[in-house]
């Protein structure tokens, strides 16, 4: 009788251990799922995109409960395939890189929304005699952008507004826009290419004793669009963000996109848009250029498809895709 009771107790204890183990496994799995980390790939620190990614990641973590980790990379040529293969859940890149990535085989790439416009002028030293893009003839101009191929296309388009090509300037080969600014500050280039709002712009301004934005000729835009169809002009005026702008003028502009992978969940992408729209003030506190962020204005007719989660959000808001300029 004692032996029988002992065997029953042993079986009950064994079963209890199995139940406890099963509960622990389920609890661990639930904990792991809730603590999932989402990668957000962007450009190096010092760039406008890195600051934008940091702002978005902050509100997604604090307001939407999404543990988003900003991952700097060398450039867009790294960002596009990482997001396209699903190695990172979110990325930020310009529309040229997104379209080029799709065209070159990243078929799972999807758009979320336009984060903000990228106003990207050529900057020169304030004490130089240069005032327009035409003045770059014969000067040392950063080109190549091996880690940001389409920035080279944008550079060529901007030169074309003044009737210039690579043959008319002295190319200084750089991998990305950060090196463009660094070479300018080191005296190895006569200009640099960067987006307004990037910390590097303020650094360059302080380092060389002041910088100036070169004016662009609006009449040259048809020539520019033959090289890069996504570019357009926007008005800027002197102000805290527009370093180097001495008077109201137009500058070369294209759209900066949040991107994801087709396999990302609809709920995840929906939450991104919802959190950004509801917490715009928090975004602006970290990245002032996000003041212009708007879901309504950020849904445009591009060739890269939008993620279903984004389309669901747009539909609920009764939004229609805006035509391109």
pLDDT single digits (tens) 54-110: 999 999 999 999 999 999 998 888 999 999 999 999 999 999 999 999 999 999 999
Q: Model confidence over 176-231: pLDDT tens digits? A: 999 999 999 999 999 999 999 888 999 999 999 999 999 999 999 999 999 998 89
pLDDT digits (tens, 9 = 90+) for 284-316: 999 998 999 999 999 999 999 999 999 999 999
At residue 18, the pLDDT reads: 52
Domains of the chain: 38-117+255-316 (3.40.190.10), 122-253 (3.40.190.10)
pLDDT band at residue 11 using 50, 70 and 90 as cut-offs: low
Mean pLDDT of 114-132: 96
pTM for this model (two decimals): 0.77
**pLDDT of the residue at 150:** 86
DSSP characters over 227-242: H-TT-EEEEE-SSSSS
* pLDDT-derived band at 14, boundaries 50, 70, 90: low
Note the helical H segments in the chain: 2-34, 48-63, 76-84, 95-103, 149-160, 177-185, 199-208, 221-227, 266-278, 280-286, 308-316
């Amino acid at each position: 009788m004692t032996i029988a009771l002992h065997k029953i107790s042993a079986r009950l204890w064994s079963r209890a251990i199995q139940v406890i183990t099963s509960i622990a496994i389920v609890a661990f799995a639930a904990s792991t799922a809730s603590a999932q980390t989402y990668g957000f790939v962007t450009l190096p620190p010092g760039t406008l995109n890195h600051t934008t990614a940091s702002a978005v990641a902050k509100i997604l973590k604090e307001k939407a409960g999404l543990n988003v980790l900003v991952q700097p990379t060398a450039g867009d040529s790294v960002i596009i395939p990482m997001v396209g293969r699903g190695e990172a859940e979110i990325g930020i890149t310009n529309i040229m890189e997104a379209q080029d990535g799709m065209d070159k085989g990243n078929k799972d790439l999807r758009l979320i929304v336009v984060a903000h416009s990228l106003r990207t002028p050529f900057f020169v030293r304030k004490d130089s005699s240069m005032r327009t893009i035409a003045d770059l003839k014969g000067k040392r101009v950063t080109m190549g952008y091996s880690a940001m191929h389409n920035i080279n296309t944008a550079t060529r388009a901007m030169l074309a507004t003044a009737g210039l090509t690579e043959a008319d300037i002295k190319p200084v080969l750089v991998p990305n826009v950060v090196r463009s600014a660094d070479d300018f500050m080191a005296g190895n280039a006569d200009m640099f290419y960067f987006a307004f709002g990037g910390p590097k712009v303020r650094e360059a301004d302080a380092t060389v004793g002041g910088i100036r934005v070169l004016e662009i000729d609006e009449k040259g835009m048809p020539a520019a669009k033959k090289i890069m169809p996504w570019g357009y002009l926007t008005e800027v005026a002197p102000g805290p963000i527009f370093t180097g702008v001495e008077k109201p003028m137009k500058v070369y502009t294209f759209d900066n996109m949040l991107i994801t992978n087709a396999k990302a969940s609809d709920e995840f992408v929906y939450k991104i848009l919802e959190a950004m729209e509801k917490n715009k003030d928090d975004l602006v506190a970290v990245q002032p250029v996000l003041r212009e962020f708007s879901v309504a204005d950020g849904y445009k007719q591009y060739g890269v498809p939008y993620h279903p989660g984004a389309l669901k959000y747009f539909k609920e808001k009764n939004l229609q895709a805006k035509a391109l300029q």
